[in-house]
Every structure is written in C-alpha cells, then in structure tokens.
Amino acid sequence: MATLNLDTLTAAFADIETITDPAQVAKLSQDYHTFSPVLVPKLAGKVGDIVVRPANEAEVIKVAATCAKLRIPVTVRGAGTGNYGQCVPMHGGVILDMTKMHEILWVKPAVARVEAGVKLAALDKKAREIGWEMRMAPSTYRTATIGGFIAGGSGGIGSIQYGLLGDRGNLLGLRVVTLEDEPRIIELRGDDVQKVNHAWGINGIITRLELPLAPAYPWAEVIVTFDDFMTAAKFGYALGIADGMMKKLISVFASPIPQYFHALHEYIPQGKHPAFLMVAEPSLEFLPGLVQQYGGEITYQKPAQDAGKGTHLAEFTWNHTTLHARIVDSSITYLQSIFPPDASLQLVEHLYHHFGDEVMMHLEFFRVRGAVIAGALQLVRYTTEERLNEIIRYHEAQGVMIANPHTYIIEDGGRKVIDPEQLKFKEMVDPYGLMNPGKSKVLEFHNNS
C-alpha cells in the first residue's frame, strides 16, 4: 500500500460521508471477535485509516475507483455483528460502512430485493406486511445487515426449515462493485451467487441482494423444561423431524447455561434443561403431546400477537447465548460444531458427559442436506489457547465438524478452503487484492510501498 495520505483521501471522497475521528474509526474497525480470547490479542490495534459511508451505488463506485487507483485496502462492514474478525482491517485503509444503503428496493410474495445495508429486522417488518419474512436470520437480526449476513453468516433462526445460507436457492441474486481501476457493476444470479456468497467481503463490494422469502407464520415462543439434558436434546430432535409441524427455532441448553439468562429465570427452575422454541400457531396444538411424550413441561408461552413485546426468546439463542453468558462471565468463550446426522444423538451424549462443566452444551437443530442435525455452540470455560485447541481436536477426532471461531484465517474456519470458483472470481473483481486483505493463506497482501 502506498503511504496513505488522509488529505488525499478525504479530498477524493469529498462528496461522500467520511469519519476520521480516531475513536470512531477504531470502533468501526471492530466486530464481535471479542467473543474469542484467542482472536483478541491477534487483532489488537488493527484499525482502519478512514471510514467511508456511501449513500448509494454511485458513491461506492467512486470509493472503489479511488481505492483501486491508490491501492488502498478496503474492509467492508455492515453492523459488525460477526464473530470472526472479518470486519477488522489487517492493513488499515478504508473501512467501507454500508449501513447508509438501506433501501428495500421491492418486496413481492416469496422474493425481496434490498440494498446491502438493510437490517434484517427492517426487511422482515416490510415483508410481513404482505405475509412473508426472511427464511433465516442470525440472533443479531435487529442490528445485523443483510449484506453482512450473506458475506459472513451461515444460517440461524429458520434454518430448521430452510437449511443454510449456502444451500442452493437461499440467495437468489446479488450485485457487486469491483475493485478495478474502472469499477464495474456485476450482477450474479442462480448458482453464480456462490462466487460471492459467504466470501467474507473479499469478492467485490455487495451493493444489492435478492432473497427468497418464507411464509410469515404466526410464531409462538415457547420454553419447555426437562429434568435431563439428553431427554431435552431428543425432544428437540423429535420436533425437528416432525414434518407436519412448522417451526423456526429449536434450541436446547444444558444446565447451568440458563443461569446466564436473567430475564428468563422465573421460567427455568434451577438445574432444569430447557428447549427454546418458535412454533407456528397452527402447529401449537400438537406441542403438548410431544412434550408429554418426553416428560417435559411447558413453562412459558408467548402468542404470536405479542411477538413485538417483551422478551424475545430468539435473542437468547445461537450466538446470543454466548453473548449473555459473557455478560455474566467474560472468561467464557465458545465453539461452533456440526454433529453428524444421528437420530440417537450418541455423539452429543458422549461429549456432553466427556467435558462436563468445562464445555456446556448448547444445541441448535437445523437442516443439512435434507436431514435434521444437531449443531452446537458450546460454551467453553476458557483457560488457555492450548486447552481450547485440545478440546477442538478431541471433537474433530470424534467426527464433529468444528467451524472454528477462534481464527480470522478463512481456511482455518468453517469451510477449510476457499472455493476455486470464488478465487477465480476474486482475480477478476479484485485484481490488486485490496479487499479484506490478510485474512487468507492463499491470498497474500503485498504492501507495495
């Protein structure tokens, strides 16, 4: 990178909103990698030089042209709710904050088109007016942007019905601005979206997205408690495979995790293992029978009409579980696991017992290749990086897939390799390797100065 002249930059971005206040820039150089005690020291002090906040695609193109010309790194961000440091600029440069581009371009039955900075909750609100909603969302749906979710997310609330973001059909189209000398707009549709889907902001600046929608059932929120963790887990699986019951969320927590959910204490007696559910109201009549079959007890039920009020169960699930635990005990960190398909959940049971209180089991059920599987975002009582790696290796040796959230290196995370098609696309859209540099083993960033 050429030595960055802030004056040159601010001049080049004259008509565009920029932030140069160091405190603000530092804040916008962060994400939730702070969940990982391993990542924190590795990413400490990594800040951008300037934050640029484009209001429209024309401004994005202007920023892209300037950055290409001056060989300035560009780290794109939405709300910064990711957990893997992918919003942290390793080599300074421009932080491209997309949150001003929040226009919902259109919503039709089953499909919507939005700008990248639209918050998930905002699209849901709009889509529900015509009876639809996003197919899936992270627990950060209130603040997270759709562009950020596609670039860095993998699934979430809704994945029990629709699988993961990377599955064919869960992203219909997107549009990127290239980092070339003369930036182009490229629109991708169909299978081609995979060139940019889950590419951690290295494959062009996403400006627009087209998403499939799901029918917006009236979702009731329910807590069911169990005396025994494995019974709770098996109940969760049984609800997962009940094809006639529409559900959006099946989270199961081993005691003592619920102690971190202050707002919900009255519904979860000490020592009980709860399942948190979102079930469509037309299916709700069938829940008591299933609960009874597993000896559980429904302790909390919020009808869909109160969805907007009070506590939102979903905000205690997925990565929000980790957030709540860390508020109480900041030494806690987490894993991200996918168990192999297995109706008997034997591996879950083995690992639940094996690590005891050191690794507290938090299951999320979702679909992978047509099968209901148990994922887990276990809470780990952190001691050392060595011990954490030992825990990860033990899981992997048992056959659990770990999407390691304690690395910012793409190839060390969930996907293990960057897709060759993505690499080919990257060569075209980011010829100077300016996008989110330093996050990959195969993509080295050469400081040309």
Q: Which residues bind its own copies (CB under 8 A)?
A: 109-111, 131, 135, 161-164, 167-170, 172, 189-191, 212, 214-215, 217-218, 240-246, 280-283, 285-286, 288-290, 367-372
Structure tokens at 257: 């995790």
- CA 252 vs. chain centroid, Å, equals 19
Q: How far is the CB of 230 from its own copies (least distance, A)?
A: 19
Sign of CA dihedral 376, 379, 380, 385: positive
Q: Identify which of residues 69 and 367 has a Cβ nearer to its own copies in the complex.
A: 367
420 vs 358: CA distance, rounded Å: 38
Q: Minimum Å distance from CB 110 to its own copies?
A: 5
Tokens 């009582």 identify what position?
A: 381
Residue 291 Cβ, how far from its own copies at the closest point, in Å?
A: 11
Of 57 and 167, which has the nearer Cβ to its own copies?
Answer: 167
Q: Are 254 and 261 in contact (CB under 8 A)?
A: no
Instruction: Kindly report whether the peptide bond that precedes residue 256 is cis, defined as omega within 30 degrees of 0.
Output: yes
Residues 6+ apart with CB under 8 A from 71: 1, 2, 432, 434, 448
Element holding 115 (H helix, E strand):
strand 111-115
CB of 251 vs its own copies, minimal distance in Å: 17
What helix, strand, coil percent values describe the chain, rounded to 5?
35, 25, 40
CB atoms within 10 A of CB 187: 13
| Closer to its own copies by Cβ: residue 63 or 214 | 214
Closest CB to its own copies among 198 and 439?
198
Please identify, using beta-carbon distances, which residue of 212 and 438 lies nearer to its own copies.
Answer: 212
Alpha-carbon dihedral sign for residues 324, 328, 334, 339: negative
Q: Which residue lies nearer to its own copies by CB, 228 or 281?
A: 281
Nearer residue to its own copies within complex by CB, 189 or 416: 189
CA atoms within 13 A on the CB side of 281: 12
| Beta carbon of residue 172, minimum distance to its own copies (angstroms, whole number) | 6
In the complex with its own copies, the residue whose CB is nearer, 74 or 127, is 127
Least Å distance between CB 77 and its own copies? 26
| Residue 63 or 193 with smaller CB distance to its own copies | 193
Amino acid at 82: G
**Least distance to its own copies, CB of residue 371, Å:** 6
Round to whole Å and give the CA distance between 423 and 146: 23
Closest distance between its own copies and the C-beta of residue 401, in Å? 17
Which CB, 59 or 124, lies closer to its own copies?
124
3, two tokens: 């030595």
Q: How many residues comprise the chain?
A: 449
Q: How far separated are the first and last CA of the chain, in Å rounded?
A: 5
Smallest gap from Cβ 223 to its own copies, in A, equals: 20
The span from the CA of 289 to the CA of 293, in Å, is 6
Per DSSP (E only), the strands in 196-311 are 205-215, 219-226, 247-253, 273-280, 297-302
Provide the minimum distance between the beta carbon of 109 and its own copies in the complex, in angstroms, as a whole number: 6
Give me the least distance between CB of 435 and its own copies, in Å please.
26
- Closer by beta carbon to its own copies, 370 or else 420: 370
E strand spans, 328-445: 332-334, 337-338, 359-360, 362-368, 371-376, 379-381, 401-402
Helices (H), 153-196: 159-162
* Interaxial angle between packed helices 346-355 and 385-398, expressed in degrees from 0 to 180 and rounded to the nearest 10: 150
